[in-house]
Amino acid sequence: MSGGGIRGDVRPVRLAHLGLGAFFRAHQAWYTAHAPDAEAWGIAAFTGRRPDLAVALNAQDCRYTLIERHADGDRAEIVSSIAAAYAGTDLEAWRTTIASPEVGAITLTVTEAAYPAVPERDDALLADVRRWPEGAPSTVTGRILAGLHARRAADAGPLALVSCDNLPDNGAVLRHAVRWAAGEVDSGLAGWIERHVSFVSTVVDRITPASTDEDRAAAKELTCWADASPVVTEPFSEWILSGDFPAGRPGWDGAGARFVDDVEPFVRRKLWLLNGAHSLLAYAAATRGHETVADAVHDEVCVGWMGEWWDAAQRHLGLDAADVLEYRNALRYRFANPRIRHRLAQIGMDGSQKLPVRVLPVLRADLAAGHSPVGAARPIAAWIRHLRGETFEVRDPAAATFTAAASGPPRDAVRAVVSLLDEDLAEQRDLVRLIEGLVRDLG
């Protein structure tokens, strides 16, 4: 297999993606490649920030190797659904792509941290809004607005925005940010967005760690092609979507995606049971010296903690117990795949953005229902150990604030960190004492 030469199968660009990274290539690009009408749907993919991946993909005609890593071996395929790759800073290409009437949807995987929780208080977004229409926007919301502005000017018709990040009701979060920013800069554009842009909510699932040099060697071994940017992913994959596609979409359902009226029942199940357990293990298992999820779930102490977390989450899911048990068993199997090296340090990034959606709702619900919240409080305790410099490097947009809060005597640290997350929780003395004890006992 060769990555060079002229591609005869470049597909027409009818989708745009923002946040070209590992997950997009294992998930949305894969579904597009496997749709029955794949030949009609090429993707123009933009990195979020650094140009590196766009440069590497362009050097190999935007093709890449996707390795599906089973517990007993690898299967490789070459994915060709990306028709063009650009650096996120290439605003001209972005505007041109979004202004094309052929393009019917924009998908996004830009991490949780890129969505402003409160747009009107987000300094970077406010700076984009103040600069409008001059200068290059630095935020995801600003970039989307610039694209939609160009589309409206070109009279290119409606389109769908499809958030594929791990956030509850990700479509509504994106809609709120985009509509707020549009209202600040141009009421005509705001009205156009209201009438022409659909915000689709999704639940996405496929464990996809960052690629390593060993993955590059494995890809070459499997395909005889020296791919500089292969992606390794697990066999399992899920995509649940809710919302309209006014300018059409690929037949993703033909590749296994599910279209539903409401994603809500699937959101909490995935965010609490999968991502919540991931965040617990990221910090708690790291205090026991583990490096990957698979290492962690081969340690009975960590498995016990995970069970306590799942019991707490399950109490408030309101789902059929047998279904949840099946989901939990499937997760244990997925997490234990010894050949997927999903590093705890990768999962543990941006905890200040993740714990509020993955863990705090369960903790609050346990307290409100009068349960002992040990299982739901442990992820917070473990995160505090992490913030105190006892595991891997803290990488978080709010690192300075939270590491400062976590320094000092344990009781003060617990109160200060919890109060930054939720002032009311920090007032609950029993909870603070419980977390303090858990902080002490971890490891």
Q: How far apart are the C-alpha atoms of 361 and 426, rounded to whole Å?
A: 15
Interface with ligand NAD (CB under 6 A), residue from 15, 23, 61, 146: 23
Using left for φ > 0, alpha for ψ between -120 and 50, and beta otherwise, residue 262 falls in beta
From the list ligand 44H, ligand NAD, none, partner contacted by residue 275 (C-beta under 5 to 8 A by kind): ligand 44H
| Angle CA 298–304–310, to nearest 5 | 110
Closest to ligand NAD by CB, 332 or 343: 343
Binding mask 170-209 for ligand NAD (x = CB under 6 A): ----------------------------------x-xxx-
292 contact, one of ligand 44H, ligand NAD, none, CB 5-8 Å limit per kind = none
| Alpha carbon distance 390, 289 (integer Å) | 10
Sole binder of ligand NAD in the list 16, 22, 280, 340 (CB under 6 A): 22
Nearer to ligand 44H, 132 or 272 (CB): 272
- Least distance to ligand NAD, CB of residue 54, Å: 9
Kind plus residue range of the DSSP H or E element containing 204:
strand 197-205
Sequential DSSP letters for 303-370 = HHHHHHHHHHHHHTT---HHHHHHHHHHHHHHHT-TT---BHHHHTTTHHHHHHHHTHHHHHHHHHTT
- Closest approach, Cβ 206 to ligand NAD, in A, equals 6
Residue whose CB is nearest to ligand 44H in the complex, by number: 278
The phi and psi torsions of 145 (rounded to 5 degrees) equal -60, -45
**Considering only CA atoms, which of 204, 215, 98, 196 is closest in space to residue 147?**
98
**Which spans of this chain sit near ligand 44H (rule: CB under 6 A)?**
112, 166, 205-207, 274-275, 278, 347
Q: Residue 24's binding partner, choosing from ligand 44H, ligand NAD, none, with beta-carbon cut-off 5 to 8 A by kind?
A: ligand NAD
Buried residues in 175-184 as b, exposed as e (16+ CB within 10 A): bbbbbbbbbb
Identify which of residues 27 and 415 has a Cβ nearer to ligand 44H in the complex.
27
3 state DSSP class of 200? strand
Half-sphere CA count of 329, side-chain side, radius 13 A:
6
CB of 21 to ligand NAD, least distance (A): 2
CA separation for the pair 135, 124 (Å, rounded): 13
Stretch 218-237: interaction string toward ligand NAD, x if CB under 6 A: --------------------
Q: Among residues 350 and 366, whose Cβ is nearest to ligand NAD?
A: 350
Selected binder of ligand NAD within 54, 105, 140, 312 (CB under 6 A): 140
> In whole angstroms, how close is the CB of 83 to ligand NAD at the nearest point?
17
Please give the residue ranges that form the binding site for ligand NAD (CB under 6 A): 19-24, 47-50, 109-114, 140, 165-166, 204, 206-208
